[in-house]
């Protein structure tokens, strides 16, 4: 049975979902999600003999939302994970992340390898530090309308997503996306086609959870993660060309849109002990929801190798 509780971590109160006993596994959600995005993983991984903990990360769900943009850097996010491992009384842990949670997982393994038994990323691969500030590279390649640049404008994306939160999540979770480059006069959601009927892996109750969560939290905390992309590049300069040393694993849906702007060819350069790369045929970005049995089996296979 999943238990929700609040843990004091790194100067904030973090709400976690927890189940099981055994080696610690942390599941880090992405944007715009909460711990609910791991609803098909928590039970099966716990039943397989692991203590599974999925937090609402900084700025999301019932976890605290600091006011300053600068309080959402990668160092803060990794600090939250480190603090959570310590608060749970476990070390080292297996750290798994999806979407934005994947870079947090990769950087936790990079910065604190002593606390990480193994690290797995879903959707976003491990990557070496960029040769220049990332937003400048994205502008040069995709133009000013690339969604990560669109998200830099204070209040703009918040107003778009908050205008009708239910419609926002029906579109983001259930829709299909074109190239994520916002055209003049458009919003980010205009890049998506929303089906009349949601996919069979997405229940109305799941949309309800998302609506209730983001009505409470708003969107600014999560968007602040994007607003630190260049600041992260500056802060992580001491680790330029450093490699992730704990055992690593990568999984991605075959049709994940992030493939258009991430470089999976550099994984071996970024991770010294890359133990597996899995493409889930026919799956999209929300692969852990679309194909939970395959994702769970793959993760347990990786966990068993550690």
Question: Looking at the annotation, which residues are catalytic?
Answer: 99, 285
Parallel, antiparallel or unpaired: strands 12-19 and 3-9: antiparallel
Cα–Cα distance measured from residue 125 to residue 249, given in angstroms and rounded to the nearest whole number: 9
Q: How far apart are CA 215 and CA 213, in angstroms?
A: 6
Rounded to whole angstroms, the Cα distance separating 79 from 86 reads: 11
Residue 146 bridge partners (DSSP): 181
Tell me which residue of 304, 212, 283, 245 sits closest to 109, measured CA to CA: 245
Tokens of 272: 């010294």
Backbone φ, ψ for residue 166 (5° rounding): -65, -45
DSSP state of 265: G
Round the CA-based radius of gyration of the chain to a whole number and report it: 18
Q: Give the burial class of 187: count Cβ atoms within 10 A of its Cβ; 0-12 exposed, 13-18 middle, 19 or more buried.
A: middle
């Amino acid at each position: 049975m999943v238990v929700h509780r609040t843990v004091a971590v790194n100067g904030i109160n973090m709400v976690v979902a927890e189940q099981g006993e055994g080696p610690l596994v942390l599941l880090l959600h992405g944007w715009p999600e909460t711990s609910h995005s791991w609803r098909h993983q928590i039970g099966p991984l716990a039943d397989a003999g692991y203590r599974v903990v999925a937090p609402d990360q900084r700025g999301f769900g019932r976890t605290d939302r600091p006011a300053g943009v600068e309080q959402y850097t990668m160092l803060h996010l990794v600090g939250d994970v480190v603090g959570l491992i310590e608060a749970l009384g476990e070390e080292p842990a297996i750290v798994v992340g999806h979407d934005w949670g994947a870079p947090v997982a990769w950087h936790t393994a990079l910065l604190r390898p002593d606390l990480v038994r193994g690290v797995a990323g879903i959707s976003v691969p491990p990557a070496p530090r960029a040769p220049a500030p990332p937003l400048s590279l994205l502008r040069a390649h995709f133009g000013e309308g690339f969604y990560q640049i669109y998200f830099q404008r204070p209040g703009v994306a918040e107003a778009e997503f908050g205008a009708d939160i239910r419609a926002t999540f029906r579109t983001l979770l259930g829709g299909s996306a074109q190239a994520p480059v916002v055209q003049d006069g458009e919003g980010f959601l205009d890049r998506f086609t929303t089906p009349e009927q949601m996919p069979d892996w997405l229940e109305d109750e799941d949309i309800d959870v998302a609506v209730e969560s983001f009505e409470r939290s708003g969107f600014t905390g999560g968007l602040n993660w994007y607003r630190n992309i260049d600041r992260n590049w500056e802060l992580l300069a001491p680790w330029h060309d450093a490699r992730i040393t704990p055992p690593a694993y990568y999984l991605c849906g075959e049709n994940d849109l992030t493939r258009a702007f991430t470089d999976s060819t550099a994984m071996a350069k970024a991770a010294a002990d890359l133990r597996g790369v899995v493409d889930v045929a026919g799956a999209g970005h929300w692969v852990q929801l679309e194909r939970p049995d395959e994702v769970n089996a793959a993760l347990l296979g990786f966990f068993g190798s550690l």
